[in-house]
């Protein structure tokens, strides 16, 4: 394990918020960097193995984002939740990483752990990263559950994101005073008046100095503004693959008051996946799992049970 992992194991304030994230840490050696992930499984995996819920986070979050859903489902499913390099308990990025790099890292984790019967559960950048991994390793996946995300070149960039990309000013704001992460605590929820103070502290904990906020800035910088950006092509490739997933059981749970991944993004997914089960949460913002945690847990658990029964009938 690298020195960076050792430093991250003692994130600021963990004595206060650590009980909210009661998971053992695991690391995958990616050569230059250690890739942290949570891997929680039921005691009895059964003869055919346990279906996997693969939780893929966005920016500026980390695997902490999925804590409630992991706790709710680890008795029935294998729950795996990685931290992208530079995020959470993972090592710093060895160089500025692109969407394609994060997809490759996720695919390496899937193959290294030999994950199968996977349900992708993803949000924000995690949607593009997770779907990219799914399209590379489609035979390992069974279902898709998405919260506010995108998987196609952006046709608009919100001004709040554009400001963060301004030369010098944007980087100073994101890496200097952690403005992006701090703003997310307020701008991503609408139903909840504000998050619990321990939850806020946990979200900020991995990004405690300039160096450890580098990935937050890099994710913003990797948003392509034109076709000349390499990630634009990666997103085009992912979008081109979406129709091939049209028959896969899919659930879309959307916060309709999200200013970033707006209802138009949901409509675009629905155009590719008309069979998807869609839940539009009218008074919920971008961080759906924080804004409507109980509702999300119920919707996801019910859908997982129903689609598991459907799969059993189809394979019997």
Structure tokens that stand for 46 in this block: 């059964």
120 phi/psi in degrees, rounded to 5: -75, 125
Q: Give the tens place of pLDDT for each residue, 80-134.
A: 999 999 999 999 999 999 999 999 999 999 999 999 999 999 999 999 999 999 9
Q: Give the tens place of pLDDT for each residue, 9-55.
A: 679 999 999 999 999 999 999 998 999 999 999 975 544 578 999 99
* pLDDT at residue 194 tops 90: no
At residue 311, the pLDDT reads 54
Confidence of residue 3 (pLDDT cuts 50, 70, 90): very low
* pLDDT at residue 6 tops 80: no
Q: Specify whether 124 is catalytic.
A: yes
At residue 1, the pLDDT reads 45
Average pLDDT score over residue span 51-76: 98
Q: Give the tens place of pLDDT for each residue, 152-190.
A: 999 888 877 878 777 777 889 899 999 999 999 999 999
Q: What angle do CA 40, 28, 18 make, to 5 degrees?
A: 50
CA distance 200 to 181: 10
Q: Specify whether 302 is catalytic.
A: no
Q: Where are the beta strands (DSSP E) in 160-276?
A: 250-255
Topology of domain 3-315, per CATH? Answer: Rossmann fold (3.40.50)
At residue 161, the pLDDT reads 86
DSSP readout, 120-189?
EEEEEHHHHHHHHHHHHSGGGEEEEEEEEE--S--S---HHHHHHTSTTHHHIIIIIS-HHHHHHHHHT-
* pLDDT at residue 7 tops 70: no
Confidence of residue 196 (pLDDT cuts 50, 70, 90): very high
Whether 301 and 73 have beta carbons less than 8 Å apart is answered as yes
At residue 47, the pLDDT reads 44
Q: DSSP class of residue 92?
A: P
Mean pLDDT over the full length of the chain: 92
Q: Specify whether 258 is catalytic.
A: yes
Strand 52-56 versus strand 34-40 pairing type: unpaired
The larger pLDDT score, comparing residue 79 to residue 1, is at 79
Q: What is the dihedral of CA 75, 80, 81, 82, to 10 degrees?
A: 160
From the list 124, 212, 222, 291, the catalytic residue is 124
From the list 36, 57, 65, 286, the catalytic residue is 286
* pLDDT at residue 307 tops 80: yes
Q: Give the tens place of pLDDT for each residue, 227-260.
A: 999 999 999 999 999 999 999 999 999 999 999 9
From the list 39, 91, 222, 258, the catalytic residue is 258
């Amino acid at each position: 394990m690298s020195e960076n992992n050792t430093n991250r194991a003692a994130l600021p304030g963990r004595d206060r918020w650590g009980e909210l994230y009661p998971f053992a840490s695991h690391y995958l050696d990616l050569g230059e960097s250690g890739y942290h992930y949570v891997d929680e499984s039921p005691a009895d995996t059964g003869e055919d193995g346990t279906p996997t819920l693969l939780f893929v986070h966005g920016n500026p979050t980390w695997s902490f984002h999925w804590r409630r859903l992991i706790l709710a489902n680890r008795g029935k499913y294998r729950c795996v939740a990685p931290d992208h390099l530079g995020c959470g308990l993972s090592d710093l990025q060895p160089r500025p990483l692109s969407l394609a790099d994060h997809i490759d890292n996720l695919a390496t984790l899937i193959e290294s752990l030999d994950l199968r019967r996977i349900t992708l559960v993803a949000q924000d950048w995690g949607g593009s990263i997770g779907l990219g991994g799914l399209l590379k390793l489609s035979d390992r996946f069974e279902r898709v559950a998405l919260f506010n995300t995108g998987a196609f070149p952006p046709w608009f960039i919100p001004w709040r994101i554009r400001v963060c990309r301004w030369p010098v000013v944007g980087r100073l704001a994101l890496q200097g005073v952690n403005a992006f992460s701090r703003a997310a605590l307020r701008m991503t929820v609408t139903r909840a008046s504000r998050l619990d103070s321990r939850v806020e502290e946990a979200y900020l904990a991995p990004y405690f100095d300039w160096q450890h906020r580098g990935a937050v800035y890099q994710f913003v910088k990797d948003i392509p503004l034109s076709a000349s950006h390499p990630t634009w092509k990666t997103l085009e490739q992912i979008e081109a693959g979406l129709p091939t997933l049209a028959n896969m059981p899919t659930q879309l749970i959307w916060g309709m008051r999200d200013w970033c991944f707006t209802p138009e993004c949901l409509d675009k997914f629905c155009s590719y996946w008309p069979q998807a089960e869609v839940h539009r949460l009218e008074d919920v913002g971008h961080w759906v799992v924080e804004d409507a945690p109980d509702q999300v847990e119920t919707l996801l658990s019910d859908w997982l049970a129903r689609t598991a029964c459907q799969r059993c009938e189809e394979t019997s």
